[in-house]
A and B are shown apart, each in its own frame.
Chain A
């Protein structure tokens, strides 16, 4: 029977990383993926990644997918797309459907990297056409170039919900609101803020009760919920939408692990029960020689970035076991990857802090914005305590509205002036080196994965200031365009005029938009709307 030393199931971040790493060591590796394109669910992640240089920070997710494929193929990995692994049998026999044939392959080692599936929450009418998973809308938008709907409601404000909500705005759909039954926005505040300032409301402590419509969704009934997530009678509101997107968490896809006989069980993970494939520190399951990594094993911080590192750790262990590297070398490498993995955890959004309501200050002791948690934007008053957010200087200078501990430091890396500083622990909030002067290059603004940096020039012309902001919508405004400036809550506050629109390769499709506003709005104007 045709045999590979390593068969990897899933050409996502974990699978491709494991494959490339094992192949680099000299192993014969095949990757099977049921999708037509590589990268797993990275196609959903067209935003720039958090993290540090060691884990592809500020690179857009879908480009990481392509990069991983190239790396795997350059190292001799055979990657089969449209290849559905239908079962894992005894003696590590893998059955793969390719076109009209079912193939049997054997492996010495199997890496299951099948990712996660979306959770769904049932409500009245949730099976009507028009209600879909958030991921479905991403497949339609990013792979098919088709809008999922015209008027859209997003349910769930975790990072998936926030990312998809922004993407919905990016393709020109009318995003009506983002709901969450919890009393606070679940995902990164910066991801929420970039939606709020475009004028989309966050409705925390709200739930969807019904999707109405004859043959498909025509409206949604939403209501406020109490502390027990029970709808409060009398608060129901019917809103006109044709699409409801569900973004209520992920569950590891463990069918193949279960099919292979690996132990899969509900385990308490960070305060919640989740079905987890039991693995050791290298990702080996309870079935010897079968590994599971990435989202298919369990939920991690910064899913894709963690998955890549987990894949590499598994590959090191496999290569050592098969004699392609020494155990000492493998352990040393694994330790290095684990360190980078540690970098990604920590901060208030680490999985271990998920659902915690009692974090009230940052690690530095700054009070966390309650408005940001509740409404998706920070108030000017709350920002005052953060030095990099209230930084004042003559001429253009960055205002960094990054107020929660998240693992990320590209702002430091891209600043040619050395003005921006982030501690070794990259979850720390950026700081300003007051001895340096901003060059107004726009790199921090356009490369900040959270789009949380603005360059403000209070001295643009008498009575007027400029605010420069990151902009990822089409069409780009043009110089001279007049419109309204919106504040952080998305409320129009004053007239604004575009004075420059800069794009550059290094800005990677984020435009650097500069608008002129009356000087007194320099601290509040944060978005531009034409007309």
Chain B
């Protein structure tokens, strides 16, 4: 988890507050165990873990990820604790969070059941 995507120290900003005494948070993505740090947004924790794709679009099933990172574009949405269309870039990561890659507005299983096709 100490991925090379983390900026442990910044030449101008110094050491980030959340890395001073980092607190590890556990969460799952599509059932897989993952970790991040307290102070991470959901999107940042995923980025640090190397996850690029947050969802597949409803019409063309195109992969989408972080695009604006400030809550405006709504591209980075996922199913968070059962709730679809949650903007992960402005949602703080919490211990025990369950994230699901979003297909259209559903989970993969729901989507496949409804559309009668496999992805």
Contacts and interface: CB of A to CB of B under 8 A. Distances in A.
A474 to B, nearest CB: 5
Given A136-B67, A140-B44, A46 B13 contact: yes
A132 interface: yes
B7 A147 contact: yes
A117 interface: yes
Interface string A119-143: 0000000011111110111011110
A509 B69 contact: no
Contact of B12 (A128, A140, A509): A509
Interface in A30-45: 34-36
Contact of A140 (B9, B66, B72): B66
Interface string B8-19: 111111101011
A60 to B, nearest CB: 7
A50 B48 CA distance: 33
B70 interface: yes
Contacts of A62: 13
B10 A35 contact: no
Contacts of B66: 129, 132, 136, 140
B63 A141 contact: no
B23 interface: no
Interface string B21-59: 000000000000000000011011001100011100000
Given A144-B44, A472-B12, A129 B7 contact: no
Contacts of A127: 62, 64, 67, 75
B65 A170 contact: no
A365 interface: no
B1 interface: no
Nearest to A472: B11
A509 B11 contact: yes
Interface string A161-197: 0000000001110000000000000000000000000
Nearest to A44: B70
Contacts of A141: 7, 10
A146 interface: yes
A148 interface: yes
Contacts of B63: 128-129, 215-216
A283 B11 CA distance: 38
Contact of A131 (B9, B48, B67): B67
A82 B79 CA distance: 22
Contacts of B75: 127
B89 interface: yes
A14 to B, nearest CB: 17
Interface string A451-489: 000000000000000000000111000000000000000
A213 to B, nearest CB: 9
B10 A133 contact: no
B98 to A, nearest CB: 20
B59 to A, nearest CB: 12
A144 B5 contact: no
A145 interface: yes
A118 interface: yes
A511 to B, nearest CB: 8
B71 interface: yes
B53 A129 contact: yes
Contacts of A147: 4-7, 47
Contacts of B13: 46, 62, 142
Contacts of A509: 11-12, 14
Contact of A215 (B41, B48, B53): B53
A130 B85 CA distance: 20
Contact of B72 (A117, A142, A474): A117
Given A147-B5, A509-B11, A140 B52 contact: no
Nearest to B40: A144
Contacts of B5: 146-147
A182 B118 CA distance: 45
Nearest to A253: B72
Contact of B68 (A129, A135, A150): A135
B47 A132 contact: no
Given A474-B11, A509-B12, A132 B53 contact: no
B62 to A, nearest CB: 6
A140 B47 contact: yes
A129 B62 CA distance: 10
Interface in A347-373: none
Contact of B44 (A131, A133, A146): A146
Nearest to A147: B5
B68 A133 contact: yes
B67 A132 contact: yes
A117 to B, nearest CB: 6
Given A139-B89, A473-B11, A216 B65 contact: yes
Contact of A129 (B4, B16, B65, B70): B65
B100 to A, nearest CB: 16
Q: Which of A118, A146, A215, A509 has the most CB of B within 10 A?
A: A146
Given A135-B70, A145-B19, A148-B47, 11 more contacts: A129-B64, A132-B68, A132-B69, A140-B69, A144-B41, A146-B5, A146-B48, A147-B4, A216-B63, A473-B11, A509-B11
19 contacts: A46-B12, A127-B64, A127-B75, A129-B53, A132-B65, A132-B68, A133-B69, A133-B73, A135-B70, A139-B70, A145-B6, A145-B8, A146-B40, A146-B44, A147-B47, A215-B52, A215-B53, A215-B63, A472-B12
CB-based closest 6 A-B pairs: A129-B65, A136-B69, A144-B44, A216-B52, A145-B16, A139-B69
